[in-house]
Amino acid sequence: MGTGTKEYTSGPFYPGESTQGYQGRLNRQQIFEIGLKAIQDLSVKTYDNRFEKLSEEEQDAILTEFAEGKVELIGMKSDYFFGVLRSATLEGAYADPLYGGNANMEGWKMKNFPGHQMSFLNIIEDEFKVIEPAALNSQHSH
């Protein structure tokens, strides 16, 4: 999982423009392994504690270092890793539960997102109302 078998990872590689995205041979799994280890290493080096044990302010400081590209990583820039991490986090929080994240549609409930409703015809003329979200697979009987 996360090996990106359909992505081009053969050289030669040249430094790309910021609009060209990642230019390298690391797959997504390797990017996460390198980046997450670096988060732990920087947390221990800076605060003498693992990332998950840090205060919110300390965690924000560590993540800001990555987001600003200030952390040396093997094979990629830290701001690239931060972007991948951020995207994966948002996808996990807000994607349809059918894909394995957003457990119990909690991400949708936080945002009052109704999910995949069959129709809004019965309420289209009403004022805004919170609707219990429905996932893709909720439309099918089991």
Task: Give how far the C-alpha of residue 137 lies from the chain's centroid of Cα atoms, to the nearest Å.
Answer: 23
Comparing C-alpha atoms, which of 61, 67, 62 is closest to residue 79?
67
For residue range 97-109, what is the model confidence (pLDDT) as tens digits? Answer: 988 889 999 999 9
For residue range 32-52, what is the model confidence (pLDDT) as tens digits? Answer: 999 999 999 999 999 999 999
CA distances 106 to 52, 74, 98, 138, Å, are 22, 35, 13, 15
Q: Which tokens is 93 given? A: 């929080």
Q: In this predicted structure, what is the pLDDT of residue 6?
A: 67
How would residue 141 be classed by pLDDT, with cut points 50, 70 and 90? very low
